Amino acid sequence: MSRTLERALGARAFQLELTSVAESWAWMRSDLLVRLGPFALVVLFVWLVWRPRWLGVGLGDLRAQLLFGVAGGAVLFLVAVYAQLPLSRRRGGLRVPADGADAAAQGAYYALNGPLEEAFFRGLLQGGLAIVLGGPAGFLVGTAAYVLYHRLGSWRWLDVLATVGAGVPLGLAFWLLPGPPSLLGVAIAHIAGTCGFLGPGPYLLRRLGLLGAQQP
């Protein structure tokens, strides 16, 4: 670790836990069954039965959606990568893919995770409540639920609070972007933000030598 980074993060080194593809797929399989699978089933049921416009299953204003998705995703990725430096120092460790294969496997999983989380929290919860209670209420409840649900996955409060940095802009975008409601832009940005915070982002930091040597 460079002296500059040590001064920025403190003198105490943090623990790097290197993960393999096999280890990652083990938790992914479990996560599919207990979290993403139920999200997908609930959203699919609502879509097949009612086909609500507010759910956001559509392209919307394609130009606006792609502009937000690409630009917002780039910003979220960079912010998330940078945020892991002080956050990992505070929590005392970080899980990092041991090689490019594991980073790619995790990135592929987050490409599934992002759209499904957006469909549930932004489309179903925020979109549905906005119809009943209005846009501001839908945004506030949807964003709060998105942030706090991370605690159910045993995330530390420090990391839970960090998700506000993604939840607020994604909720505002789903609510305020021009055209019909669409999950396209927020899903793209969500994928990029998650890949910055987990998996590929930490792998990039390690490849750049910003995390130092693994501690025993």
Mean pLDDT of 198-209: 96
Rounded distance between C-alpha atoms, residue 165 and residue 80, angstroms: 9
- Average of per-residue pLDDT values in the chain: 92
What pLDDT digit, counting tens, does each position of 10-43 carry?
Answer: 445 568 999 999 999 999 999 999 999 999 999 9
pLDDT at position 4 over 70: no
Give SS3 for 57.
coil
Give me the mean pLDDT over the 137-161 stretch: 94
Whether 69 and 133 have beta carbons less than 8 Å apart is answered as: no
User: Nearest Cα to 211, choosing from 12, 75, 10, 15?
Assistant: 15
Supply the pLDDT for residue 153: 81
DSSP 146-158: HHHHGGGGT--HH
Q: Residue 191 and residue 107: Cα distance in Å, rounded?
A: 8
The residue assigned the tokens 């929590």 is: 91
Kindly report the pTM of this predicted structure.
0.91
Ordered by start, the domain boundaries in the chain are 3-207
What tens digit of pLDDT does each residue of 57-77 get?
Answer: 999 999 999 999 999 999 999
**Residue with structure tokens 């945004």?**
139
